[in-house]
Amino acid sequence: MLKTFASLIILFPVLYLFLPVYLTVFLLRKPLLLLFFCLANAAVIFYLSNRHSRRARGLKSETDSLQEKLNLLKDENFKEQKSNLYLQEKISRYQSLKKIVEEINKDMNLDTVAGSISSIAFSLVANNKGSCLLYLLDQDHQRLNLFKARKEERGLVIKEKEGDIFDAWVLRHSSALLIEDANNDFRFDLERPKSLDLRQVGSLASAPLVNENKFHGILRLDHPKPYYYTQDDLRFLLKICELGALAIENSKLFKAVHDLATHDELTGLFTKGYLCEQLKEECLRAARHHHPIQLLMLDIDLFKSYNDKFGHTAGDLVLKKISRDIAGALKGVHSFTARFGGEEFCVILPGMEKEKARLIAERLREKIAEGKIILRRQETGVSVSIGLAGFPGDASSFEELIQKADRAMYEAKKNGRNRVCPL
């Protein structure tokens, strides 16, 4: 290879320098030979130029082809990266389901559960954009009520307290709803919600909170711009709603059990056990802050005669009436009222002086005595005897306070009934 290259280097000046000079000087009489030489060189140059042009075109075509393949590979790589990011986001979402379950079920309080559900959906699905609304269903009236809201704009006012046409659709069909472009969705062209004039909804994802065919409410995400939510967003929202509906059902059952434990089934007032716990806490608080507590003990006068004359059902009506009268007389007064047992009631009045408590007790006694009740088509009335004792003036502990109030109540009965007896 090196020898060939060296030969060409030697041959080039001979052919293109010395030979033309020789032909020009010594062969002037032979112009045809010189012309032939020039034409031969021109042919060689044309051939080489044409060959170079063809190779250049071939290289350009190959370059263009490679560039096209490179562009395709770049496009495929971009799509692959985008798909990987999408899959990673999807995996991350579904990996968070365990944390979602823990977050939703860490507290049985309905308000806390609903707050967790709406916060999770707003964060993981909506990316904290637009609005997240959680409606709970009023089972008695079959009406939605806005219970929780999360908003990107803090100053945004949600006026659809009972939902709009989209929420009514989800309630009616008990099915999930995805609207990519609210302005061009044929399902709602005939009756546009008036609220859109106030709060723009471009895209929407909404799912029912259903557990064992029991409809609890709706979890809704909306955004002012169209095409913000996708089918995958809706699928994940449905997963959140499945977990959320179970948590809401559990919180309602927990509340029902708690109410049974703390409220009297007949009157709806607190039970004796709950009132004793509350009285104990109030006495400890009163001792720390040096303020008084008054306790009223009420007993229905001659209650046994009502049961004997009209029956136990009539007795239940009397107990319900007394509980309503107590609630009405104490409206606006900080107090705790309980059915203490049988026909006895007990009222805690925290932070109140004895004289004011006595006036409230007199007002309560008069209200009950003036009221009328129909028992077996007979108009009759009831009265109560009320005992009053205070802490720390009359007692040094909550147990002693109950005993003193009970003693005062029996004094009221001994003195003729239908009266208030302060200790």
What is the residue-wise DSSP string for 199-216? Answer: S--SEEEEEEEEETTEEE
Q: Which of 46-60, 150-164, 356-370 is the most confident on average?
A: 356-370
The H or E element spanning position 219 is strand 214-223
* Secondary structure element (H or E) that encloses residue 228, with its range: none
In the numeric block, the tokens 């056990």 are attached to: 273
CB-based contacts of 314, cutoff 8 Å, min separation 6: 306, 307, 375, 376
Vertex 25: Cα angle to 22 and 29 (nearest 5): 110
Contact 348, 278 (CB under 8 A): yes
pLDDT at 155: 79
pLDDT at 196 over 70: no
Confidence class for position 91, pLDDT limits 50, 70, 90: low
Q: Give bridge partners of residue 75 from the DSSP assignment.
A: none
Per DSSP, what are the bridge partners of residue 391? 293
Residues of the chain with pLDDT > 90, as a percent, come to 47
What does the alpha-carbon distance between residue 366 and residue 325 come to, in Å, rounded to a whole number?
A: 10
Q: 146-169 in b/e burial notation, b at 16+ Cβ within 10 A?
A: bbbbbbeeeeeeeebeebbebbeb
Q: Which of 340, 337, 384 is nearest to 365 (CA)?
A: 384
153 φ/ψ sector (left φ>0, alpha ψ -120 to 50, else beta): beta
Residue 10: the pLDDT is: 60
What pLDDT, on the 0 to 100 scale, is given for residue 41?
A: 73
Q: Which residues contact 22 (CB under 8 A, 6 or more apart)?
A: none
For the stretch 230-246, pLDDT in tens is 998 999 899 899 999 99
Least confident of 14-23, 149-158, 160-169, 235-244: 14-23
pLDDT digit string, tens, across residues 32-73: 666 776 777 778 777 777 887 888 888 888 888 888 888 888
> Could you give all domains of the chain from N- to C-terminal order, each with its CATH number?
98-260 (3.30.450.40), 272-422 (3.30.70.270)
pLDDT band at 94 (very low <50, low <70, confident <90, very high): low
| Per-residue pLDDT at 190 | 46
Whether the ω angle into residue 226 lies within 30 degrees of 0, i.e. cis, is: no
Residue 12 has pLDDT above 70, yes or no: no
pLDDT number for residue 64 = 82
Backbone angles phi, psi at 286, to 5 degrees: -65, -40
Is this model's pTM higher than 0.95 or not? no
Residues 348 and 279: beta-carbon distance below 8 Å = yes
